[in-house]
Amino acid sequence: MKPIHIVTDKKNIYKNVIMPGDPLRAKYIAQNFLKDAKLVNDTRNMLIYSGTYKGKKVTVASSGMGIPSVGIYAYELYKFYNVKNIIRIGTSGALSKEVKINDIVIADSAYSLSTFNKILNDSNDNILYGNKKINNLLEKEALKLNLPYKRGMIYTTDVLDLYINIDKYLKKAPKDILISEMEAFGLFATSKYLNKNSSAIVTVVDSKFEKKKITAEMREKNLNDMIKLALETIIKL
């Protein structure tokens, strides 16, 4: 079998990958944070760039939205391009008063009602875990950078919770869930299947517990902080 959705030479993709969902965010990271960045894949407009950060080789690969999409791109990166570590970066909504807008959440684990893990790993587990070594490094770097963060369980949903009321589903979920997003569970399942490493960090941009609204400038700064955290961490792996 050959990769279908990523078409490039193996040498063009490095072992350490930062994975935003949005292809344009991948482009933004490459242009603003990497040195000598090269576009190495644009099949289906899912952009992948490789370059260096502080002299260390890093690839930035977009995943698209949702568990199936992140599963496809993570699988091909791990399986066909010898990627070892992936850190997902994204945005999220708060599900706990403990989490504030602008916080970065390090996902120790992801809970989901998705059948993805059952189909891929033949497992009924609906809680999957991020890599402890990567998460410990993320926390260490967050403290160095003086970034507001929380660490704990997140909820990966198949349906954007702005479209529906997910409260009835949360009643059956673990009580210590911090935020909701749409990809981490799929990434964790895929890395488990292929015996690779993954983690996820997300910036909280919305909360039903706060009236606070963030400006476009604030949002960009907050996302830049998360990007820097991911890059500072992954170059140490």
Please give the radius of gyration of the chain, using alpha carbons only, rounded to the nearest integer.
17
3-state SS, 98-138, equals CCCCCCEEEEEEEECCCCHHHHHHCCCCCEEECCHHHHHHH
Give catalytic residue positions: 206
Tokens 């490493």 found at:
197
Q: Tell me the two tokens of residue 97.
A: 């008063």
Please report whether residue 72 resides in a domain.
yes
> Does 121 fall in a domain?
yes
pLDDT at residue 210, as a whole number: 92
Give me the tens of pLDDT residue by residue for the chain, a chain 237 residues long.
Answer: 889 999 999 999 999 999 999 999 999 999 999 999 999 999 999 999 999 999 999 999 999 999 999 999 999 999 999 999 999 999 999 999 999 999 999 999 999 999 999 999 999 999 999 999 999 999 999 999 999 999 999 999 999 988 888 888 888 899 999 999 999 999 999 999 999 999 999 999 999 899 877 777 777 888 999 999 999 999 999
* CATH number of the domain encompassing residue 36: 3.40.50.1580
The confidence score (pLDDT) of residue 182 equals: 97
Inside any domain, residue 1: no
3-state secondary structure of 79: helix
Asked whether residue 86 is domain-assigned, the answer is: yes
On whether residue 5 sits in a domain, the answer given is no
In a domain, 4, yes or no: no
Enclosing domain of residue 97: 10-234
Write down the pLDDT at residue 76: 98
Residue 26 identity (one-letter amino acid) = A
At residue 63, the pLDDT reads 98
Q: Read off the pTM.
A: 0.97
Number of domains forming the structure of the chain: 1
Element holding 24 (H helix, E strand): helix 23-33
The predicted pLDDT at position 219 comes to 77
Please report where in the chains the tokens 């350490």 appear, as a residue: 16
Residue 110 lies in a domain: yes
Asked whether residue 3 is assigned to any structural domain, the reply reads no
